[in-house]
Chains A and B, each alone.
Chain A
Amino acid sequence: MADLSVDLGFRTLKSPLIAASGTFGYGEEFLPFFDLDILGGVIMKGIFREPRPGNPPPRLHETPAGLLNSIGLAGPGSEKLQESIRRLRARTPVPIIVNVCGEDDDEFVAVAETFSAMAEVAMLELNISCPNVRQGGACPAQDAGHTARLVGRVKERIRKPLIVKLSPNVGDIVGVALAAQDAGADALSLVNTFLGLAVDIDARRPVFANIYAGLSGPAIKPLALRLVREVCRKAYVPVIGIGGISSGRDVLEYILVGAAAVQIGTINFREPAAALRITNEIEAEMERLKIGNLSEIRGQLQT
């Protein structure tokens, strides 16, 4: 039997597979489909201090093998999320990760403190990379200096491991990654969605009120894989690869370029039990390739 466990240095996960924020609801919704405890972790939908309605419809637009979304981080606010986390914990021991958001740095710090104090929460993921909060897609992850300041402030106030989630919509993602690492990030996760545009030719308008939206799904995998490789070559903290994963083979590709673990996102919409299928596929690939543990191939891409 293949051993799926992965070592992040600060914590060992039972599987490299983590459910990505915004694509797994608050975890509970997937309980009818499979035992969540097969996962390395479940990341809650991004959370702000107060409830947010999110962007007006339409919020989704399909592209070939891809999905543009402009959800705008709709959510119930910190207090309600705490209840959801307690409910999920009562049903499964899977590690729960909170995706921390903020309109400004003070809010990021406050939300991080709230969830750092919850015993049910395993770690925090700082979402400095959502393209749907401000028009044009601006976010802290577009600036290395801002990223360093914010990560430093958050780290000072929390006692849980901190993953910092990076944006692909930057010129120098390695620079931002190293800024986050040097400011104290325990791990990096990448990528969030790519900024994209959909046009309605009848109306001669953008499909989305915010004009730009975030692209995810199988269409982005080669783009994301390259960025993960670039960051893995320079960063010493563990990197969690995200983008377009839909099979066990995809997971091994990310591990080969250096990722310690991965997240699956959009595929969960199409296939609620995708995580179960992909877990089985990882095991089958490991047996076929005679790999006992993924650490044997992590970063072993031959060039």
Chain B
Amino acid sequence: MLDERGLIEDARSLGGNYHLLKIAAPGIAASAKPGHFVMVRVSAAYDPLLRRPLGILECRPPYIGLYFQALGRGTSMLAALGPGDSLDILGPLGNSFPEFPGKKVLLIAGGRGIVPLYHYAQVCAERRPLFLIYGGRGKADLPLLDRIKALRLQGLFIFSEDGSLGQKGLLTSGLEKIVREERPDVTLSCGPEPMLAALAGLLKPFPMQNLASLEAIMGCGFGVCQGCAVRTVTGALRKVCDEGPVFPLEEIQWPT
């Protein structure tokens, strides 16, 4: 883990509010694993005061790639940066995904939840059979599709709520069928909370290991502020930043 001054090499808008940044951050790139995230300082002034957590989309030393949605103040400021700009990045953070050698792995990504799963697929596709379910509201929410098609996946299933791409509907609507047909050993998921909550229910009857990468509001990203608590089924609170962000899906108490 280190706090590094990254230099933006390339910045791209992908339409909608989606953005890609390619950043030279050699120290972080040297040790980032799929599932790790970074805390990015978006402003030299004190507003916003805190860094923003972002997943690592890809890692090709000395570069890391970020993929994010400009939603609020912080991410909009980040979207305004361009090549030659620098920014402070803390990372790599969190517990990352295990590799699962030899196992059949199903990736389940909702919207920007593709980030850590894309990284996983890029690193692990050669070594095991990988399947990906990728869903969003519409075509505009799935701008990484071309890159995803270039991954060595055994199966790719696209869902859009408005039917503008792939099958129409939420990805959870087609999940059971895919699981029955492909019989994965492991699922790795990342996406909006309602999606993860639904997955927890849908995947319960199947004998698989299910891991999910969670989001939480974070003050520090390295375990010191206690701001990122998430409740588990036992009622205990765990820190998403350093005990996660990857947790067994069934360990989390999802809102009903």
**A residues lining the B interface (CB < 8 Å):** 22-25, 29-30, 32-33, 45, 53-54, 56-62, 64-67, 69, 71, 74, 217-218, 246, 266, 268-273
Contact = CB atoms under 8 A, between A and B. Distances in A.
Given A56-B231, A271-B3, A71 B50 contact: no
Interface stretch (B99-107, B130-138, B213-221): B213-221
A33 B226 CA distance: 19
Interface stretch (B12-20, B40-48, B146-154): B40-48
Given A57-B216, A58-B217, A60-B217, A65 B226 contact: no
Contact of A268 (B41, B48, B216, B224): B224
23 contacts: A22-B226, A29-B224, A32-B1, A45-B224, A53-B236, A56-B229, A57-B216, A57-B231, A58-B217, A60-B217, A60-B227, A64-B47, A67-B219, A71-B226, A74-B226, A74-B237, A218-B46, A218-B49, A246-B46, A269-B220, A269-B225, A271-B88, A272-B220
Given A56-B229, A273-B3, 14 more contacts: A22-B226, A29-B224, A30-B224, A57-B216, A57-B217, A57-B229, A57-B231, A65-B46, A65-B47, A65-B49, A67-B49, A74-B237, A217-B49, A269-B51
A268 B225 CA distance: 9
Interface in B17-38: none
B223 interface: yes
Interface residues of B, number: 30
B247 interface: no
A67 B3 contact: no
Contacts of A69: 219, 225, 227
A288 B48 CA distance: 31
Contact of A71 (B2, B46, B48, B227): B227
Contacts of B222: 29, 272
A147 to B, nearest CB: 26
A66 B229 CA distance: 20
Interface string B42-69: 0000111111000000000000000000
Contacts of B46: 65, 217-218, 246
A24 B224 contact: yes
A60 B219 contact: yes
A269 B90 CA distance: 11
Contacts of A272: 3, 90, 220, 222
B230 interface: yes
A32 B219 contact: no
B225 A71 contact: yes
Contacts of A60: 50, 217-219, 225, 227
Contacts of B224: 23-25, 29-30, 45, 268-269
Task: Give the secondary structure class of A's interface.
Answer: loop
A228 to B, nearest CB: 20
A272 B41 CA distance: 12
A53 B50 contact: no
A67 B237 contact: no
Contacts of A56: 229, 231, 237
Contacts of B231: 56-57
Interface in B229-250: 229-231, 235-237
A25 B239 CA distance: 13
A64 B49 CA distance: 7
B130 to A, nearest CB: 33
Nearest to B223: A29
Nearest to A269: B220
A268 B224 CA distance: 9
B223 A54 contact: no
Contacts of B41: 270-271
Contacts of A59: 217, 226-229
Nearest to A266: B49
Nearest to A57: B229
A67 B217 CA distance: 12
A54 B216 CA distance: 16
A20 B185 CA distance: 46
B50 A62 contact: yes
Contact of A54 (B2, B49, B88, B229): B229
Nearest to B231: A56
What are the 3 A-B residue pairs with the smallest beta carbon separation, nearest first? A25-B224, A60-B227, A65-B46
A208 to B, nearest CB: 12
A67 B132 CA distance: 39
Given A53-B236, A60-B219, A67-B219, A270 B50 contact: yes
B49 A57 contact: no
Best-surrounded residue of A54, A71, A270 (most CB of chain B within 10 A): A270
Nearest to A244: B46
Contacts of A246: 46
A22 B227 CA distance: 11
A90 to B, nearest CB: 19
A57 B227 CA distance: 8
Nearest to A55: B229
B50 A54 contact: no
Contacts of A268: 220, 224
Q: Which residue, of A25, A60, A61, A64, has the highest number of chain B Cβ atoms within 10 A? A: A60
